[in-house]
Amino acid sequence: MSSKKVRVRFAPSPTGGLHLGGVRTVLFNYLFAKKQGGEFILRIEDTDQTRFVAGAEEYITETLRWCGLEADEGPHKGGAYGPYRQSERKPMYREYAEKLIAAGQAYYAFDTPEELEKMRGQYKTAENPSPQYGHGLRDKMRNSLSLSAEEVNRLIGEGVPYVVRIKMPEGETVTFNDMIRGDVSFNTSLVDDKVLLKADGMPTYHLAVVVDDYLMKISHAFRGEEWLSSAPVHVLLWQYLFGLENMPQWAHLPLILGPDGAKLSKRHGNKYGFPIFAMNWTDPRTNDFTEGFRERGFLPQAFVNVLALLGWNDGTDQEVFTMEELIERFDLSRVNHSGAIFDFEKAKWFNQEWIKRLPAASWQPEVKALFEKAGITIADEAQFTRVLELVKDRCALLSDFIPQADFFFRTPATVDVAAIKPKWNDQKQQFFAELIRQYELLQQWNHDELEKEFKEMAAAHQLKPGDLMLPLRIMLVGGKFGPGVFDIAAIIGKEATIQRIKHTLQLVQA
RNA sequence: GCCAUGUUCGUCUAUCGGCUAGGACACCUCCCUUUCACGGAGGAGAGACGGGUUCGAUUCCCGUACGUGGUACCA
């Protein structure tokens, strides 16, 4: 076992966008595999044809690409263990289902959905709100255990639809060692006879995950904690089909929760106003839109960083990690056991850290696109870089660059005159009127010259520079924010500076 | 209901029997900054409850409570 090549897989169902929890599962898979020099496989679990959603698979692939978590094998790039879509592997599953039936470990069941519903209604009580199709009730249903062999053959011969269900043994204990939780045990009497092969011939997740993990030589299987309850079914299947010695090691990851403590869902995003999905997603059937972290203005490095620290830490106080560091430090034994509530404020902090750490060039194209979308054309890339470096400490999201820097490229739409007026007087009016004249004469239009001239003039007018800089800032920026005023004046140039001062002077007088 | 799993500041977490319980986000105060941030210094803020085991429990065991997940021909 230990000498086996590490092969892990992420096996999403292509039913919509990928949310935080899904991406974190990918991350932990990826980090674990890369640290051991193993392989990371993407497998599409599209066994439910009624839930197929166009574009979902492409969305998943693109999300992994954006996050820098690309698979070594998968439907988009092939590999030695394909196909990587379960719908394309359909013929492979039946033989295993038949094998289980032959061994008496599974059986045919002919109950229609209506009959199942009726059974649940009939046996439902206050103490047992969800009766199970298991050892207690299977004799009362229509299956190859309760029916005679002739009857079963006749039904199958007539083409009556059927499913294959696992026959859960009675009174046995199934135990397996979870890499995160340690030994976990289940009493098989309390697990129902899960459907393995559906009436349409497709396997359910339970059969498919076992067969494909075996066929694809998966060594370690990571999934969310919501799967823990069905683990005994999978363990039994491994025992029956391929031998426990070949079973991958399981790791059930703690869930990511919403602010109310329930498993994170799209609902939380709508309710609390933060993204849930990695990227924007619009459901093609309902047109239901869900915002993504990418479009909200997150850097992939930050997004990955946030996810890594939700349920894991390296034991030190370090919180900002590069992908290389994560791969190096990641250790399953340091993954928490309990679910973690997602905190959007903290996520923004991570993003801000990454914006500050990375050179502007690495995210400049994204920000430039945002500016152009806002109607601001960037002509001079070098100057744009200078502006971005100047304001980046003030931005937690890439979208923050627009309000923090648009005034470098266009006249402020509104000027906060109300912040100037109360302390305005004739002396200041005269000061700025002359400042315009002096600035027009200035030969060297740079930060130092602008400041020098400004201060000399303030002294000449017997005014305190501090009382004049805020008005100047508001004239140039429109409000009380932004980097140094003379930096701004230097960058926007003589013409714009003078024009903005003149414009505000008129507003103040009005 | 049953099964599984979990429970340290508001949130993410450290602690693998010695704790005056540490850090980060958010919050508050101050400094820096003639704006806003960034940065710096402080502050407030936690071991669900009850039993054991132990010289000593946040750490180990049991019980209770509460949370979450599961209980589909969905994954």
CA-to-CA separations, A127 to A88, A124, A510, in angstroms, rounded: 43, 8, 78
For chain A, give the number of residues. 510
Residue A120: per-residue pLDDT: 93
In the chain, the amino acid numbered A102 is A
Name the residue closest to the C1' of B36 by its CA.
A481
CA-to-CA separations, A439 to A449, A450, A496, in angstroms, rounded: 10, 8, 11
Protein chain A, residues 150-179, with a C-beta closer than 7 Å to any atom of nucleic acid strand B? 161, 163
Residue A4: per-residue pLDDT: 78
State, as a whole number of angstroms, the distance between the CA of A183 and the C1' of B50: 27
Residue A3: per-residue pLDDT: 56
Token reading at A461: 């007018």
Asked whether strand B has any atom less than 7 Å from the CB of A473, the reply is yes
A508 close to A424: Cβ distance less than 8 angstroms = yes
Asked whether strand B has any atom less than 7 Å from the CB of A455, the reply is yes
Asked whether strand B has any atom less than 7 Å from the CB of A185, the reply is yes
User: For every one of its 510 residues, what pLDDT tens digit does chain A have, with 9 covering 90 and above?
Assistant: 445 799 999 999 999 999 999 999 999 999 999 999 999 999 999 999 999 999 999 999 999 999 999 999 999 999 999 899 999 999 999 999 999 999 999 999 999 999 999 999 999 998 899 999 999 999 999 999 999 999 999 999 999 999 999 999 999 999 999 999 999 999 999 999 999 999 999 999 999 999 999 999 999 999 999 999 999 999 999 999 999 999 999 999 999 999 999 999 999 999 999 999 999 999 999 999 999 999 999 999 999 999 999 999 999 999 999 999 999 999 999 999 999 999 999 999 999 999 999 999 999 999 999 999 999 999 999 999 999 999 999 999 999 999 999 999 999 999 999 999 998 999 999 999 999 999 999 999 999 999 999 999 999 999 999 999 999 999 999 999 999 999 999 999 999 999 999 999 999 887
| Bridge pairing between strands A39-42 and A249-253 | unpaired
Protein chain A, residues 44-73, with a C-beta closer than 7 Å to any atom of nucleic acid strand B? 45, 47-48, 51
| Domains (range + CATH), chain A | 7-75+208-257 (3.40.50.620), 90-197 (3.90.800.10), 411-509 (1.10.10.350)
Asked whether strand B has any atom less than 7 Å from the CB of A255, the reply is yes
Nucleotide of closest approach to A336 (CA, C1'): B13
| Nearest in space to A242 (alpha carbons), one of A216, A275, A277 | A216
Residue A1: per-residue pLDDT: 45
Provide CB contacts within 8 A for A216, sequence distance 6+: A7, A9, A41, A43, A81
In the chain, the amino acid numbered A155 is L
Residue A506: per-residue pLDDT: 93
Nucleotide of closest approach to A313 (CA, C1'): B13
Name the residue closest to the C1' of B7 by its CA.
A338
Nucleotide of closest approach to A209 (CA, C1'): B75
State, as a whole number of angstroms, the distance between the CA of A73 and the C1' of B46: 45
Asked whether strand B has any atom less than 7 Å from the CB of A225, the reply is yes
State, as a whole number of angstroms, the distance between the CA of A204 and the C1' of B74: 9
Whether residue A266 is annotated as binding a ligand: the answer is: yes
In the chain, the amino acid numbered A315 is G
Asked whether strand B has any atom less than 7 Å from the CB of A315, the reply is yes
State, as a whole number of angstroms, the distance between the CA of A343 and the C1' of B64: 31
Nucleotide of closest approach to A353 (CA, C1'): B38
State, as a whole number of angstroms, the distance between the CA of A228 and the C1' of B71: 12
A428 belongs to the catalytic site: no
Nucleotide of closest approach to A163 (CA, C1'): B73
For residues A386 and A364, what is the distance between their CA atoms, to the nearest angstrom?
A: 11
State, as a whole number of angstroms, the distance between the CA of A29 and the C1' of B12: 21
Asked whether strand B has any atom less than 7 Å from the CB of A202, the reply is yes
For residues A281 and A294, what is the distance between their CA atoms, to the nearest angstrom?
A: 11
CA-to-CA separations, A179 to A176, A184, A222, A223, A314, in angstroms, rounded: 10, 10, 9, 11, 17
Token reading at A443: 């030969």
Helix, strand, or coil (residue A477): helix
Helix ranges (DSSP H) in A343-464: 344-357, 364-373, 381-391, 401-405, 426-441, 447-460
Q: Say which of A266, A348, A392, A428 is annotated catalytic.
A: A266
Nucleotide of closest approach to A131 (CA, C1'): B71
Using a 7 Å cut-off to protein CB atoms, list the covered nucleotides of chain B: 1-8, 10-15, 22-26, 34-38, 67-75
Protein chain A, residues 117-146, with a C-beta closer than 7 Å to any atom of nucleic acid strand B? 120, 126-130, 132-133
State, as a whole number of angstroms, the distance between the CA of A226 and the C1' of B58: 28
Helical (H) or strand (E) element with A177: strand A173-178
Asked whether strand B has any atom less than 7 Å from the CB of A356, the reply is yes
A462 φψ region: left (φ > 0), alpha (ψ -120 to 50), beta (else): left
- Residue for token digits 């309990």? A338
Tell me, letter by letter, the H, E, C secondary structure of A259-299. CCCCECCHHHHHHHCCCCECCCEECCCCCCEECEHHHHCCC
Asked whether strand B has any atom less than 7 Å from the CB of A205, the reply is yes
Asked whether strand B has any atom less than 7 Å from the CB of A229, the reply is yes
| Nearest in space to A473 (alpha carbons), one of A489, A459, A457, A462 | A489
For residues A485 and A472, what is the distance between their CA atoms, to the nearest angstrom?
A: 7
In a 10 Å sphere around its CB, with 0-12 CB exposed, 13-18 middle and 19+ buried, how is residue A95 labelled? exposed
Nucleotide of closest approach to A227 (CA, C1'): B70
A250 φψ region: left (φ > 0), alpha (ψ -120 to 50), beta (else): beta
Q: Which pairs count as long-range contacts for A29-34, CB under 8 Å and 24+ apart, including other chains?
A: A29/A222, A30/A69, A31/A308, A31/A326, A31/A327, A31/A330, A32/A6, A32/A8, A32/A220, A32/A222, A32/A330, A32/A332, A33/A6, A33/A7, A33/A8, A34/A327
